[in-house]
Amino acid sequence: GEDVEQSLFLSVREGDSSVINCTYTDSSSTYLYWYKQEPGAGLQLLTYIFSNMDMKQDQRLTVLLNKKDKHLSLRIADTQTGDSAIYFCAERYNTDKLIFGTGTRLQVFP
């Protein structure tokens, strides 16, 4: 069935790059998304990638997609303390529903 998995925690030093990883099982996924959740806030859409792309860059964010391995990653360059949050990947295939991962808690320390 459909499943999306992420590691639970990531800790990085301010100024370093962060790489958050995600694996999914549905090879038919059309779009893959990254959302950010700060404490007390909703899910903020950060970026997405269409399944026929390998990479997408948006300012400090780079999304890499390996369809063969069903692996998605989000790289945050020059990580700042304001990037501390929970990051969710989600997949969608020709339906309305997003299937979310467990979320990765990113902690940035000075």
Partner 1 sequence: EPEVTQTPSHQVTQMGQEVILRCVPISNHLYFYWYRQILGQKVEFLVSFYNNEISEKSEIFDDQFSVERPDGSNFTLKIRSTKLEDSAMYFCASSDRQGHEQYFGPGTRLTVT
Interface residues toward partner 1, by CB under 8 A: 4, 31, 35, 40-45, 48, 88, 90, 92, 94-103
The pair of structure tokens assigned to 64 is 């890499």
Closest contact distance (angstroms) between CB of 110 and partner 1 is 28
Comparison of 71 and 97: residue with beta carbon closer to partner 1: 97
Closest separation in Å from C-beta 32 to partner 1: 12
CB of 109 to partner 1, least distance (A): 25
Inter-residue contact 91 to 31 (CB < 8 Å): yes
Of the pair 4, 85, the CB lying nearest partner 1 is at 4
Nearer to partner 1, 75 or 93 (CB): 93
What is the token pair recorded at 61? 């964010």
Q: Measured at the alpha carbon of residue 19, what is the angle toward residues 15 and 22, in degrees to the nearest 5?
A: 160
Are 79 and 108 spatial neighbours (Cβ–Cβ below 8 Å)?
A: yes
Strand partners, 12: 108
